[in-house]
Amino acid sequence: SEEEVSRLLAMAEVPEEELNPFRVLGVEATASDAELKKAYRRLAVLVHPDKNQHPRAEAAFKVLRAAWDIVSSPERRKEYEMKRMAESELTRSMSEFLSRLQDDLKEAMNTMMCSKCQGKHKRFEMDRDPLSARYCAECGALHPAEEGDFWAESSLLGLKITYFAMMEGKIYDITEWAGCQRVGISPDTHRVPYHISFGARNAGPAGRQRSTSKGSPTSAADLQDFF
């Protein structure tokens, strides 16, 4: 009986509207009304202050009584179960909403506004250290990048051109945006061909602010557009 008193006392601080009557009564939520009544009567005999000398037996009995009141009749039990179902549905809906919001925010963080088409283009974060971010064909080595640097690199024997930029301290593949902008850049250059402004990721070329590359930029037709 002391064990049951202690178990019930552990739930004494739980607000009545949050009390789980099935847990208090020690039965499954699928228990029949007869099983609920049997469990209540058994516990009442064990923890009632008239029969149990535990100093806090009365507090334990109050918890038991509060739980029993919630499911003491089929009508009250149904009311409780419908309330819990509604709360569960609300929790599920809120969880789904927050998950969608997180996905939307993540997508927003990885898109760039385009001044050409007035739309948005995806950017992809690269696993590159800014200190060795740019490939230089002349040196056959990697050079550091600075915030706002915009450059191109070739692959597949020069058939594919990928455009990169350093934004917010990270290196991104912005080929989709570059294709729409139709800015021609020679790939794999020693020096950074362009420095662009990414105010709120509403990007636009800001001219050759760092230094020009040794080769002239490719024509618009040479710009690779990968969507």
102 in any annotated domain: no
Residues 162 and 202 in one domain: yes
Average pLDDT, the chain: 81
Is the pLDDT higher at 113 or at 1? 113
148 in any annotated domain: yes
112 in any annotated domain: no
Residues 134 and 83 in one domain: no
CB 13 within 8 A of CB 66: no
Phi, then psi, of 211 in degrees rounded to 5: -175, 155
Residues 206 and 137 in one domain: yes
pLDDT at 198 over 70: no
Single pTM value for the model: 0.45
Q: How confident is the model at residue 215 (pLDDT cuts 50, 70, 90)?
A: very low
Domain of residue 140, residue span = 120-222
Overall number of domains in the chain: 2
Q: How confident is the model at residue 223 (pLDDT cuts 50, 70, 90)?
A: very low
pLDDT value of residue 168: 85
Question: What is the tens place of the pLDDT at every residue in 33-50?
Answer: 999 999 999 999 888 888
106 in any annotated domain: no
* b/e burial code for range 86-107 (CB count within 10 A of at least 16 → b): eeeeeeeeeeeeeeeeeeeeee
140 in any annotated domain: yes
Cα 69 from Cα 130, distance rounded (Å): 66
Last residue of a domain, one of 77, 93, 109: 93
Q: Are strands 111-114 and 202-205 parallel, antiparallel or unpaired?
A: parallel
CATH code (residue 57): 1.10.287.110
pLDDT value of residue 199: 53
pLDDT value of residue 22: 93
pLDDT value of residue 71: 92
Question: What is the tens place of the pLDDT at every residue in 157-167?
Answer: 878 899 999 98
